[in-house]
């Protein structure tokens, strides 16, 4: 079974631009969560989607948005990039939307904003 895949793996953008990151969950998984990982703030929850509906949202500005498609693939978008958005963005998929289920993480997309 293929794992969680994230594309692209690396990305360099300029301040003020926007970016879209993609996550393909494990086949059959309906929940996709996104996390931001930085040296200063650690791992922070962005949002979770289950069956195309956003279920939870973390404390991030509205510049961060996401969506989930009918095949469970998810995208997150960051508009008007700031230097502080440089981070490793991880997505995780799970079969169910209830807590306690094992979440499988992708390798991440490393975003650098210059």
Partner 1 sequence: AQSVTQLDSQVPVFEEAPVELRCNYSSSVSVYLFWYVQYPNQGLQLLLKYLSGSTLVKGINGFEAEFNKSQTSFHLRKPSVHISDTAEYFCAVSDPAAGNKLTFGGGTRVLVKP
Among 45, 60, 65, 86, binds partner 1 (CB under 8 A): 45
CB of 9 to partner 1, least distance (A): 9
Task: Give the range of 14-22, 61-69, 76-84, 103-111 binding partner 1 by CB under 8 A.
Answer: 103-111
Q: Does 106 bind partner 1 (CB under 8 A)?
A: yes
- CA pair distance 1, 47, nearest whole angstrom: 25
> Does the footprint of partner 1 cover residue 33 (CB under 8 A)?
yes
Q: Which residues contact 69 (CB under 8 A, 6 or more apart)?
A: 52, 75
User: Each residue of 52-69: b (16+ CB within 10 Å) or e?
Assistant: eeeeeeeebeeebbbebe
Report the alpha-carbon distance of residue 24 to residue 11 in Å, rounded. Answer: 17
Does 24 bind partner 1 (CB under 8 A)? Our answer is no
Pair type for strands 109-113 and 10-13: parallel
**Which C-beta is closer to partner 1: that of 45 or that of 79?**
45
Q: Which residues bind partner 1 (CB under 8 A)?
A: 4, 31, 33, 35, 42-45, 48, 50, 55-56, 58, 90, 92, 94, 97-108
């Amino acid at each position: 079974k293929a794992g969680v895949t994230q594309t692209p793996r690396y990305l360099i953008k300029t301040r003020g631009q926007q970016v879209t990151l993609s996550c393909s969950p494990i086949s059959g998984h309906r929940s996709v969560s996104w996390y931001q990982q930085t040296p200063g703030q650690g791992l922070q929850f962005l949002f979770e989607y289950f069956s195309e509906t956003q279920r939870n949202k973390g404390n991030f500005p509205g510049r961060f948005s996401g969506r989930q498609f009918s095949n469970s693939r998810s995208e997150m978008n960051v508009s008007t990039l700031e230097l502080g958005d440089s981070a490793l963005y991880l997505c995780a998929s799970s079969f169910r939307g209830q807590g306690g289920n094992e979440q499988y993480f992708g390798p991440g997309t490393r975003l650098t904003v210059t």
